[in-house]
Amino acid sequence: MKRILIIIPTFNERENLESLVSRVMMQDGVELLIVDDNSPDGTGLLADALARGLARLHVLHRSEKAGLGTAYRDGFTWGLNHGFDILVEMDGDGSHQPEELSRILAAMESHDVVIGSRWVDGGKVTDWPWRRMLLSRAGSAYARVALALPFEDITGGFRAYSRDAIRQLELESVASQGYCFQIDMLARAHRVGLDIAEVPITFVERRFGSSKMNHAIIAEAIANVTRWGLQRLGSKLFPERLRRFARQMLMFLAVGSLGFAIDVGVFTVLRVGVLSPASVHGGPILAKLISTSLAILANWAGNRLWTFRSNRHDDVLREGLRFGMASVAGLLVSVGCLWVSHYVLGLTSVVADNVSSNVVGLALGTGLRFVLYRSWVFGAGAVAERELLGWRWTRRI
């Protein structure tokens, strides 16, 4: 026999509580948890009083109003800790009918999540002004399109989740406070591939007390849905592989710029200082040799320890050798461009030489180095070789 917990968050629902509790208690085989946020109207005290006579009624008190989302989160955690198999969300304002629970629970026999839906065939809302209706329908429509959720009622709060389903939704990271919590949970459930069904319900506008819906709650929902939608679009347009490639490229360029700065900086300091032509014959050549060697070393270290750190080779010596060869290949490309432009095409001006070597040549050489670093020095080639040599697990361990 499955243990079923109905969770009702309350804030100032005193007038609705007693009849709602008795209607829920009339449903067989369910227990009820009221999550009250220290309601000033005494809802929590009333819940305690009712619970004294009802073993199936539990009350969770929180010290202050902290939003519907966190109330459900705490309620779910309580339910999981107390071993319930099915956890049902329900509003405490009388909008959701306990008498419809049986249909939702019946659908739970064959699904992981069941949504009590106002907007599928057979579902309806009573006594809602057209503005409220529009807001709800527009909210669901926006979330449906932005998050590609194939459901009609995305914001409703009459739902059941299986214990396993809840566990897959990583509750700890759900930050949404208002009814956006419902959208958040449904999007997660859909993303992890849970089996979700919609069952028609009749939603009855509250008769007592006042709605806690406010502008901040609506703004939170619009902002979050928009953000999640853009994230979704971003990961569709730029899949992880592409983003990894772009990240690596930027890191590689940053390391290269640092190397360039070291080359110029060290050369200048040596050239005007200890290795000036006045004090050492051939000083500038020596200064250039030292500065370029330091730049290459810095480049290697930067790429090894940062850009390509996840693919670095265990055989440092061979990786260094390959790095040197790839760097020389890049240099040869720049020189080759200069040679073709100057001697083959006959473009001999200073500007042409600069464009061919420092613009076209540098770009092509840098591109070649990036490709070689990625695929040969640090990349798949290095990994494949390691596997070939039977070192498959050395890096992963």
Ligand X SMILES: Nc1nc2c(ncn2[C@@H]2O[C@H](COP(=O)(O)OP(=O)(O)OP(=O)(O)O)[C@@H](O)[C@H]2O)c(=O)[nH]1
CB closer to Mg ion out of 95 and 327: 95
Q: Which of 332, 337, 323, 302 is nearest to 374 (CA)?
A: 323
13 touches ligand X (CB under 6 A): yes
Q: To the nearest whole angstrom, how small is the minimum distance from the Cβ of residue 179 to ligand X?
A: 5
Largest Cα–Cα separation, the chain: 102
184 touches ligand X (CB under 6 A): no
Angle between helix 215-237 and helix 130-146 axes, rounded to 10 deg = 20
Q: Quick count: other Cβ atoms within 10 Å of Cβ 84?
A: 23
307 touches Mg ion (CB under 5 A): no
Q: To the nearest whole angstrom, how small is the minimum distance from the Cβ of residue 10 to ligand X?
A: 5
Restricted to residues 84-113, the positions that interact with ligand X (CB under 6 A) are 91-93, 95
CB closer to ligand X out of 211 and 235: 211
Q: To the nearest whole angstrom, how small is the minimum distance from the Cβ of residue 96 to Mg ion?
A: 8
CB 172 within 8 A of CB 154: no
Q: How far apart are CA 38 and CA 11, in angstroms?
A: 7
CB 41 within 8 A of CB 14: yes
CB closer to ligand X out of 201 and 326: 201
Catalogue the long-range contacts made by 116-119 (C-beta closer than 8 Å, 24 or more residues apart): 116/153, 116/156, 116/158, 116/159, 116/199, 116/200, 116/201, 117/151, 117/152, 117/153, 117/156, 117/198, 117/199, 117/200, 117/201, 118/152, 118/153, 118/156, 118/200, 118/201, 118/203, 119/152, 119/153
44 touches ligand X (CB under 6 A): no
182 touches ligand X (CB under 6 A): no
Which residue, chain included where needed, has tokens 């069952």?
A: 199
Site string for ligand X, 128-157 (x = CB under 6 A): ------------------------------
CB 10 within 8 A of CB 35: yes
By DSSP bridging, strand 4-10 and strand 86-89 are parallel
Q: To the nearest whole angstrom, how small is the minimum distance from the Cβ of residue 74 to Mg ion?
A: 19
Q: CA neighbours within 13 Å on the CB side: how many for 140? A: 17
Q: Which of 9-17, 161-169, 262-270, 328-336 is the region at the interface with ligand X (rule: CB under 6 A)?
A: 9-17
CB closer to ligand X out of 68 and 225: 68
Q: Which member of 159, 212, 312, 369 binds ligand X (CB under 6 A)?
A: 212
Restricted to residues 42-71, the positions that interact with Mg ion (CB under 5 A) are none
Q: Which of 66-74, 105-113, 255-263, 287-295 is the region at the interface with ligand X (rule: CB under 6 A)?
A: 66-74
Q: Which residue is nearest to Mg ion (CB)?
A: 93
Q: Which member of 36, 93, 153, 319 binds Mg ion (CB under 5 A)?
A: 93
Interface contacts to Mg ion, rule CB under 5 A:
91, 93, 95
Interface contacts to ligand X, rule CB under 6 A:
9-11, 13, 35-37, 65-68, 71, 91-93, 95, 179, 206, 211-213
